[in-house]
Amino acid sequence: MLLIACPWCGPRDETEFRCGGEAHIARPKDPDALDDAAWADYLFMRRNPKGRHRERWVHAAGCRRWFNVERDTVSHVITAVYPMGKPPPGEGG
């Protein structure tokens, strides 16, 4: 079982959270301007990496707030927890 450090509530069991999947997928600003392939890429295509993954979690049975997690998909080790809307650790912008 994962031990996840909610930025607001501290370390809690995985069962209190829901995983919201890959992070940093920005909704296109002007969806009408997209062709079908670009829309499909936004909606369905995922990196699904073996290794470092940035993903969204929500503290569903706690403060109900969303945040980002950087976790290794092979070892399950969590290497960072950071706010929504912020770039991943070590990456500018």
Partner 1 sequence: MTWPRLWRDPEPKPAYDAVIVGGGGHGLATAYYLAKEHGITNVAVLEKGWLGGGNTARNTTVIRSNYLWDESAAIYEFSLKLWEGLSRDLNFNVMLSQRGVLNLAHNLHDRREAIRRVHANRLNGIDAEWLDPTAVRAFCPILNIDAGARYPVLGATLQRRGGVARHDAVAWGYARAADARGVDLIQNCAVTGLRRNGGRIAGVETSRGFIKAGKVGIVAAGHNSVLAAMAGIRLPIESHPLQALVSEPIKPVLDCVVMSNAVHVYVSQSDKGELVMGAGIDGFNSYAQRGSFPVIEAQMGAVIALFPIFSRLRMMRSWGGIVDVCPDASPIIGKLPVDGLYLNGGWGTGGFKATPGSGFVFAHTIANDAPHPLAAPFSLERFTTGALIDEHGAAAVAH
Residues that bind partner 1 (CB under 8 A): 1-2, 13-15, 18-19, 21-22, 36-37, 39-41, 43-50, 53, 55, 71, 73-76
Comparing CB distances to partner 1, the nearer of 50 and 64 is: 50
Q: Encoding tokens for residue 93?
A: 């912008």
Closest contact distance (angstroms) between CB of 38 and partner 1 is: 9
Task: Please select the residue that binds Zn ion; options are 23, 57, 59, 68, rule is CB under 5 A.
Answer: 59
| HSE, side-chain direction, 13 A CA sphere, residue 21 | 7
Distance set, CA 39 to CA 7, 22, 55, 56 (Å): 33, 17, 21, 21
Residue 65 and residue 10: Cα distance in Å, rounded? 12
Give the footprint of Zn ion on this chain (CB under 5 A).
6, 8-9, 59, 62-63
